[in-house]
Amino acid sequence: MTLDYPSILFFLAVNNLFIMALFIYQYFFHHKQWYLMLVALGITFQTVAIVMYANRELFPPLLTLRLNNFLMISCFAFTSFGLVSFDGRMRKKLLWLFLVFAFLFYSAILIAEENYTLLSVIRIISCSFFYGIGAFHLFFNKNKYKFSILLGGVLSLYSVFQLFRAYNVTQIGKSYEFLQNSTFNNWFLIISILVISAISIGFIMLLKEVDQKTILKKNKIIERDKRKLEALNQTQNKLFSIIAHDLRSPFINILGLSDLLMDNIKDTDPESEKCTELINSTAKNTLNLLDNLLNWAKSQTGELGFSAEKINLSKVILHILELKMSQAQAKNISLIFSPTIDIELFTDKNILGTILRNLITNAIKFTNYGGHIEVVATTDQYQVEISISDNGVGMSEETIRKIFDLSTNVTLPGTANENGSGLGLVLCKEFVEKLGGRLWVESEVGIGSNFKFTLPLRISKPECAKAQLKWQ
């Protein structure tokens, strides 16, 4: 069988260029890993060596020979180390082994460069050595990738073939020429082209297999985390149920009993009446804290229901003031609300009630004995503005910046040393924003505070959905 060697070398160079382009594409668009560029660099060195050998008449013979051998040995080392490093691990011991043997092989070639047969044998053995080491690491990779084993098998066969070729070259002796028409040389070129193509395709498939296993592993982790989250969610729901029912019920009973007790001992036993009022006040504050905690937790998890309805604002405010009247009377605080017009708006009544209850409770807490709190509601054609002002202790600018941020944990004692969690104002701000409004405060130390918030007169169903998504 006679082959046109210049055409074969040209085809081999073109094949290598295609493989280089494939690896560069993989690097920039799929796997931006160093080992891809290392394999591409090895194939580039081989391509340059082929072009130089095909045009060796154009260069000084000794320079061509030395540079060609350097490129080929570098090609074997780079390609093999790049293939072995498909998992991204930098095997430093193996790298040092490759560097040492690359130096030894090239030094041996420089010593034997006048003996073309011995030079060829050293170059062939270097190819067998580097590919054989690469085959061993690929074949015995601990992850047992299918294409890693196949790739290791191909490299093993090619390494053995190169050893057989080296033996054949030694048998030919000084009459050996690389581009001499012979059956063995012909098969060598054909097998080399097939092996280079198989290695390149197999390596790409190996990377895809690694990706698939990585994705499968991540999916298992995601599924495991999902089950954990579901279990945590069930625990959370159970906790909410305990807060909503099992913890609230005793305090509601305490409130009912303390109210009944206060009615029975009113004006008969001042000491007992004082203690009963303290029990009642403590129970109310604790119940309010539980409600805030429950609402805040639900809002953070997106489980707080949103049900818009048409409401009369004055009735809602009067109802909240009535609930807070006993708390205000304990400090002789006047609650003032004088509606001038009936304002109707379309919003969530329960959330609005929570906002008003917390803002009025906060105002009572920081208003001195004998002070007053005024609630004012105004409207235009688009929105309503509600303000809760007091003549209490007021706040500094620094405190104003912190009160709506739960992470700062601003908890100041009230004028009667009332305690708090700092959760109420945070909850108010989030709830106002949930209803499509805005909350802010104007305050001066020693003069008082004025909490204001706006709400749209009507929030349509699409806007409700949008607000719910934004809230979550």
Tell me the per-residue pLDDT of 370-386, one tens digit each, with 9 for 90 and over: 999 999 999 888 899 99
**CA dist list (Å): 201 to 133, 144, 170, 196, 346:** 20, 18, 33, 9, 65
Better pLDDT: 409 or 432: 432
Most confident of 8-17, 260-269, 398-407: 398-407
Using pLDDT thresholds of 50, 70 and 90, give the confidence band for residue 179.
low
Q: What pLDDT, on a 0 to 100 scale, did the predictor assign at position 267?
A: 67
Q: What is the pLDDT of residues 4-60, one digit of tens each?
A: 556 666 667 777 777 777 777 776 777 677 877 888 888 888 888 878 877 777 888
Element (H, E) at 232: helix 183-241
State how far the Cα of 359 lies from the Cα of 217, in Å rounded to an integer: 50
Q: What pLDDT, on a 0 to 100 scale, did the predictor assign at position 302?
A: 66
The radius of gyration of the chain from alpha carbons, rounded to an integer in Å, stands at: 42
With a cut of 60, say whether residue 181 has pLDDT above it: no
Q: Residue 322 CB: number of other CB atoms within 10 A?
A: 10
With a cut of 90, say whether residue 407 has pLDDT above it: no
Q: What pLDDT, on a 0 to 100 scale, did the predictor assign at position 419?
A: 74
State how far the Cα of 175 lies from the Cα of 269, in Å rounded to an integer: 128
What is the token pair recorded at 465? 């959905």
Which amino acid is located at 183 in the chain?
A: T
By CB atoms closer than 10 A (0-12, 13-18, 19+), residue 262 is middle
Using pLDDT thresholds of 50, 70 and 90, give the confidence band for residue 290.
confident
**CA dist list (Å): 365 to 145, 368, 381, 448:** 69, 8, 34, 12
- Residue 344 β-bridge partners: 312
Q: What is the pLDDT of residues 302-326, one digit of tens each?
A: 666 678 889 999 999 998 898 888 8
Q: Residue 401 CB: number of other CB atoms within 10 A?
A: 12
Using pLDDT thresholds of 50, 70 and 90, give the confidence band for residue 449.
very high
DSSP category for residue 245: I
Using pLDDT thresholds of 50, 70 and 90, give the confidence band for residue 462.
very low
With a cut of 80, say whether residue 465 has pLDDT above it: no
Better pLDDT: 289 or 352: 352
| Locus of tokens 């020429």 | 177
Using pLDDT thresholds of 50, 70 and 90, give the confidence band for residue 463.
very low
Q: From the centroid of its chain, how far is CA 265? A: 62
Over residues 321-337, the mean pLDDT reads: 88
Q: What is the pLDDT of residues 115-159, one digit of tens each?
A: 878 888 898 899 899 999 988 888 887 777 888 888 888 888 888
Element (H, E) at 172: helix 146-172
Pairing of strands 438-444, 372-379: unpaired
Q: What is the pLDDT of residues 55-103, one digit of tens each?
A: 777 888 888 888 888 998 998 898 888 888 887 788 888 889 999 999 9
Q: Which of 41-45, 224-228, 297-301, 332-336 is predicted least confidently? A: 297-301
With a cut of 60, say whether residue 405 has pLDDT above it: yes
pTM value? 0.50
Q: Which of 141-155, 270-284, 438-452 is predicted least confidently? A: 270-284
